[in-house]
Structure 1
Amino acid sequence: MATLFGLDYPTLWFLVIGGLFSGYAILDGFDLGAGALHLFFKKEKSRRIALNAVGPVWDGNEVWLVIGGGALFAGFPVVYASLFSGMYIPFMLFLLFLIFRAISIEFRSKEEMKWWRTTWDISYSVASTALSVLLGVVLGNVLIGIEIGPQGNFQGHWLEFLNPYALLVGVTTLALFSTHGALYLLMKTEGRLYAKLSILARRAIIFFIVTFSLVTLYTLIYIPHLTDRFKDLPWLFVVPVLAFLSIANIPRLISKRRFRDGFIFSAITMSLLLIVVAIELYPVMLLSTVDEAYNITIYNAAASEKSLGIMLTIAAIGTPLVLAYTAFVFWTFRGKVELDETSY
């Protein structure tokens, strides 16, 4: 099997896809978090400022989701097919709420009527909240496994995804995104909205710490297989320890009103938690609750070696371009939000 930097192609592609979805979680996470908090802002001006804080970047952030989904399909088509078969309902709901979030942002300011704007405000906030929870629900189901039978066929009930663990992970994801979004908005706002967000950020991080503690406890007691890799290789414990330290640092930074640093650490927290997930699963990508023999791994699900090699070359060229574009957009729209005639 061909290797690069001492790693085989399936492993490298596993890392590429993990990096792409981590980028999506960090970038669109603050958009979704800001949207989930939207109805806490009572004044029209505050809601407009919050919308315009994410307005220049939200659609670009979704590019990472498109690239990640395409990379998953190209690199591990069996995983793509099995995951979308088992999680068909949540993914369809996810697409529906993605559409409603987009049109809510674009349609809200097209008319002056209060009922019109309130309707789209509610739509925007509900869609953002639902998207955050659904992402966590999918992740929770990936962690505990789904009913995959021979040849990767899904054998479970269509409502199987609504299990307690996945829902708890979904709520935890919402809490983390809300914290991330509040910290982002604090970097973009001032005045009364800034003061309001300071309170919301403190509440959001407390909410996250509580839900994350419950997820951790649930995992240790009821899903012991997720800790097997750490028991076999104790040095890997450095990753969850760093994640816990990063989480603990966020409320400290919020209390010191160092919101930019808090935002950076919330992004680091997301990255570290997803690395923990990758360590727990590797080399398995989808666990089968029917029989371990039906687990879908990076090796039995990967595309041909030649395809992976070609796509790694494309990824090596395209990823820096996407990063450069993302950096350019954020640099261009840096600073506090100011409303004008072109604003939402």
Structure 2
Amino acid sequence: MELHDVWFVLIAVLWIGYFFLEGFDFGVGVLTKLLARNRPERRVLINTIGPVWDGNEVWLLTAGGATFAAFPEWYATLFSGFYLPLLVILVCLIVRGVAFEYRVKRSEENWQRNWETAIFWTSLIPAFLWGVAFANIARGVKINADLEYVGGVTDLFNPYALLGGLVTLSLFTFHGAVFTALKTVGDIRERARKLAGRVGLVTAALALLFLLWTQADHGDGKSLVALVVAVAALVAALAANQAGREGWSFALSGLTIVAAVAMLFLTLFPNVMPSTLDPGWSLTVTNASSSPYTLKIMTWLAAIATPVVVLYQGWTYWVFRKRIGTQHIAETVH
């Protein structure tokens, strides 16, 4: 296997890790409006992801940086062609981080309510737009002979991409609801489990349609295996949730995300951005990659740094593993 193939796989792993981890905290952000009935309950939801949300975003930074270094042509075409939706995602992530930190800096009701609203919208919008972006990458976009995107913003919001956005939004919300049931106690835990069941059924219908569409247009034997794993994991996650096995349900909802994203990358390879104008103008792991020397240096750095990051983040989740409820929220902090 050539180094550019290795880095395609590594970048896929980084995006899978990002969607697995950021997926549930986007989902929890959406649930601050859908599940929480009052300010203490919203505080409980926020506290379940408070220690980990910023660490989850490290995977995004690493995926973006790795793409820039390993496949500069892919990075340039992607960020120029998808400039507006990616800018909206970036602004949302900035505002979201500020909202987490500033919400409790003042006690006024309007101040806290506005930041809570910001958390909801800056979780929902990226959850939708990431699906739109990756659906377009899998489907292909208008790339010319100079390897430049020549389409418009409206081209990105086609039916397939919009369906992809709905899939990621519903799947992340389901993932977040299961995580909430796993991390909380009392009434909010029971309501989270019931909501997960309802959202999961919608997710299953949307995901099945999207994955079958993807398989029909671009799939092969490997992507079919990933499709089967994704669907089976989602059904099993729903069954585990119904049985009150929150740990299994969370692991299986995560496996659904892993398999679904893996399927998109399997349908891509050896392309990284297919051209809908001419297959010969597609960006591939060969024509979009950096030099072999650059990839070699990157491989050594990744081999050293990645285990350290994974161990540290795993330790963080272990430290903050206990369940919480409204009884753990101080009366002065609402």
Which band: TM-score by shorter chain? over 0.9
Does the 8 Å contact 1:284/1:296 carry over to 2?
yes
Does the 8 Å contact 1:52/1:343 carry over to 2?
no
Task: Tell me which amino acid in the other structure corresponds to 1:339.
Answer: I
The secondary structure found in structure 2 opposite 1:109 is: coil
Report the Cα distance in structure 2 between the residues aligned to 1:272 and 1:116, rounded to whole angstroms.
40
Structure 1 partner of 2:239: 252
- What TM-score, normalized by structure 1, do the two folds share? 0.92
- Give the 3 Å change call, closer, same or farther, for CA 140–284 of structure 1 in structure 2: same
For residues 1-344 of structure 1, the aligned pairs below 5 Å read: 7-40=1-34, 41-219=36-214, 224-227=216-219, 229-230=220-221, 237-337=224-324, 338-340=328-330
Report the Cα distance in structure 2 between the residues aligned to 1:100 and 1:253, rounded to whole angstroms.
35
Taking only aligned residues, the RMSD between alpha carbons, in angstroms, comes to 1.6
- Give the 3 Å change call, closer, same or farther, for CA 140–42 of structure 1 in structure 2: same
Does the 8 Å contact 2:193/2:242 carry over to 1?
no
- 1:104 deviates by 1.4
Indicate the percent of aligned positions where both proteins have the same amino acid: 34
Task: Tell me which amino acid in the other structure corresponds to 1:309.
Answer: K
- 1:262 deviates by 0.5
Report the Cα distance in structure 1 between the residues aligned to 2:123 and 2:47, rounded to whole angstroms.
16
- 1:165 deviates by 1.0
- 1:339 deviates by 3.0
Report the Cα distance in structure 1 between the residues aligned to 2:48 and 2:198, rounded to whole angstroms.
21
Spell out, residue by residue over 1:300-343, the C-alpha distance to the aligned partner (whole angstroms, 9 max, x if none). 11100011011011111111111001101001111112335997
- Give the 3 Å change call, closer, same or farther, for CA 236–29 of structure 1 in structure 2: closer
- 1:117 deviates by 1.5
- What TM-score, normalized by structure 2, do the two folds share? 0.95
- 1:147 deviates by 0.6
Query: Structure 1: which 5+ runs fail to align?
Result: 1-6
Report the Cα distance in structure 2 between the residues aligned to 1:171 and 1:146, rounded to whole angstroms.
20
- 1:271 deviates by 1.0
The secondary structure found in structure 1 opposite 2:155 is: coil
Spell out, residue by residue over 1:42-83, the C-alpha distance to the aligned partner (whole angstroms, 9 max, x if none). 211100111011000000110010011000000000000001
- Give the 3 Å change call, closer, same or farther, for CA 146–342 of structure 1 in structure 2: farther
- Give the 3 Å change call, closer, same or farther, for CA 340–82 of structure 1 in structure 2: same
The secondary structure found in structure 2 opposite 1:156 is: coil
Spell out, residue by residue over 1:83-106, the C-alpha distance to the aligned partner (whole angstroms, 9 max, x if none). 111101100000011111111111
Report the Cα distance in structure 1 between the residues aligned to 2:134 and 2:45, rounded to whole angstroms.
28
Report the Cα distance in structure 1 between the residues aligned to 2:123 and 2:275, rounded to whole angstroms.
30
- 1:284 deviates by 0.4
The secondary structure found in structure 2 opposite 1:37 is: helix
Q: Give the paired residue count.
A: 330
Query: Structure 2: which 5+ runs fail to align?
Result: none
- 1:253 deviates by 0.2
